[in-house]
Amino acid sequence: MAVYVDEAIWNWQGMRWAHLIADGEDELHRFAAELGISRLVYQGPPKTAHPHYDITAFERRRAVARGAILCTREEIVVVLRRLKTRRGL
């Protein structure tokens, strides 16, 4: 199982944001909790198609330090497609 984070390129409320995803939802929630990210900010079905957390650039640096795999915007799309196929959607 792996956790992935894309580039912090999304600007919102004066900060830059990235997406945190994982091979499994349990791992995603565990990793986010280890980073101190509240489960309240989790985004997943039916609200969004892909389970993820939006994280700040600061949280992204911490995620990478804890082992999250860096992905470009294009690479994260490939990962999301693979996960979607695995879930049978």
Percent of the chain with pLDDT over 70: 97
The DSSP secondary-structure symbol of 36 reads T
Q: Per-domain residue ranges for the chain?
A: 3-87
Would you say residue 87 has pLDDT above 70?
no
Distance separating alpha carbons of residues 65 and 51, to the nearest angstrom: 22
Q: Taking the chain, what is the end-to-end CA distance rounded to the nearest angstrom?
A: 20
Confidence of residue 57 (pLDDT cuts 50, 70, 90): very high
Confidence of residue 89 (pLDDT cuts 50, 70, 90): low
> Residue 9 has what pLDDT?
80
The model's pTM: 0.86
